[in-house]
């Protein structure tokens, strides 16, 4: 009896990839610790509430077991607070894990590649092959030598009977020069980032963490600096991102831009850019005498004009500004349009949905700027 082969589709119930009890809880914990700005106790309280509602654990593995595993694996540590009491805090290992999760969520699976990776039209020492060949020059890497083409040359120049390979026979395949990029990411931490019942700071933090991890993994020779701006602007370290909080601040966009340009002036890379994530209008500037001029009512022309001046100044320095506007007020969009025109940069009116993807795409696009 012949075996009959049946063609068609076979359907079955989806089975999620296996996750250990720890891994399942750790994924949720990383989300919660981001929302609570690094407050371990609050994150665990939320995790216990979720456990009650969704039965995340059982008698074989409890929340307390999970906390013990966090300690054993080096994700949390005991610390003394400013008031002298002891508490639990996350470690640098957890901070890195949070950034990696943000990257996976927003940008997908991105593998580490070698240095450079900003393709330009100029030939030089790089890794993007052009398909063109040239004679070997002193200083060319051995890995760039085309063995096939070099052997062909040796055969033509020396014949088969007296075959030998000399330096004059060597051929290398040209590669694109890969430019480097220096980026400053500006994050608005004014009070409006949590007004109107919408948490805008957590998505902004996650985008910042994902972008940092993306650059370190894919473009290790690039630089990224992060600053926050409220009444003033100040630089923060990468490790501080999970703990970022909104404050009772106005929006001093001018101070943020001035600091961003100061940071970029110190960079030797030819390619420089500013990314700004904001949801509100500029409402504050610092005067020369150190006092602050503040006005939250509408768009203050005095403040707005100073923003336009900074945008134009960045343009003179060949620093494009890409603004990611996460509010939808039409009059604010008009301000951003004029601001973008002054800089000849770009603006995206994204809301919170898709913010990460747009920043990644724009980062890749901007990296194609040419260096000479």
Nearest residue to 353 via CA among 237, 198, 197, 147: 198
CB contact set of 234 (below 8 Å; sequence gap of 6+): 227, 228, 259
Q: Which CATH superfamily is domain 180-366 in?
A: von Willebrand factor, type A domain (3.40.50.410)
pLDDT tens digits, residue range 198-226? 788 888 898 889 889 888 888 888 999 99
Contact, 25 vs 64, CB < 8 A? Answer: no
**Greatest distance between any 2 Cα atoms in the chain:** 98
Residue 217 phi, psi (nearest 5)? -80, -40
pLDDT tens digits, residue range 44-94? 999 999 999 999 999 999 999 999 999 999 999 999 877 778 899 999 999
Contact, 25 vs 68, CB < 8 A? Answer: no
Report the pLDDT averaged over residues 102-106. 84
Position 352 confidence tier, pLDDT thresholds 50, 70, 90: low
Residue 97 has pLDDT above 70, yes or no: yes
pLDDT of residue 121: 42
Q: Quote the pTM value.
A: 0.75
Report the pLDDT averaged over residues 165-193. 82
Q: Which residue has the higher pLDDT, 194 or 32?
A: 32
Position 109 confidence tier, pLDDT thresholds 50, 70, 90: very low
CA distance linking residue 333 with residue 78, whole number of Å: 47
Position 292 confidence tier, pLDDT thresholds 50, 70, 90: very high
């Amino acid at each position: 009896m012949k075996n009959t082969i049946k063609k068609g589709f076979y359907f079955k119930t989806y089975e999620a990839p296996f996750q250990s009890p720890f891994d399942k809880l750790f994924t949720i914990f990383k989300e919660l610790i981001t929302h609570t700005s690094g407050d371990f106790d609050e994150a665990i309280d939320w995790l216990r509430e979720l456990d009650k509602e969704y039965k995340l654990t059982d008698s074989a593995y409890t929340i307390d077991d999970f906390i013990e595993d966090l300690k054993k694996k080096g994700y949390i540590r005991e610390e003394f607070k400013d008031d002298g009491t002891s508490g639990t805090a996350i470690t640098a290992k957890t901070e890195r894990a949070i950034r990696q999760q943000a990257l996976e969520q927003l940008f997908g699976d991105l593998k580490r590649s070698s240095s450079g990776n900003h393709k330009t039209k100029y030939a030089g020492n790089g890794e993007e092959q052009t398909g063109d060949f040239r004679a070997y020059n002193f200083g060319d890497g051995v890995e760039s030598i085309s063995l096939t083409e070099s052997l062909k040359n040796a055969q033509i120049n020396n014949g088969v009977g007296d075959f030998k390979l000399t330096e004059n026979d060597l051929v290398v395949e040209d590669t694109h020069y890969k430019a480097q990029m220096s980026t400053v990411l500006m994050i608005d931490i004014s009070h409006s980032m949590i007004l109107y019942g919408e948490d805008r700071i957590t998505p902004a933090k996650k985008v910042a963490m994902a972008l940092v991890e993306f650059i370190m993994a894919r473009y290790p020779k690039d630089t990224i600096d992060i600053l926050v701006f409220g009444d003033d602007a100040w630089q923060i370290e990468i490790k501080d991102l999970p703990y970022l909080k909104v404050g009772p601040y106005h929006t001093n966009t001018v101070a943020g831009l001035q600091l961003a340009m100061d940071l970029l002036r110190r960079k030797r890379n030819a390619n420089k850019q500013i990314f700004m994530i904001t949801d509100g209008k500029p409402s504050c500037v610092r005067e020369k005498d150190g006092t602050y001029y503040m006005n939250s009512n509408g768009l203050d022309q005095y403040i707005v004009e100073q923003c336009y001046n900074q945008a134009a100044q960045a343009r003179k320095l060949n620093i494009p500004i890409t603004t990611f506007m996460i509010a939808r007020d039409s009059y604010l969009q008009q301000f951003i349009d004029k601001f973008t025109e002054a800089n000849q940069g770009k603006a995206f009116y994204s809301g919170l949905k898709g913010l990460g993807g747009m920043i990644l795409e724009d980062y890749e696009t901007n990296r194609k700027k040419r260096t000479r």
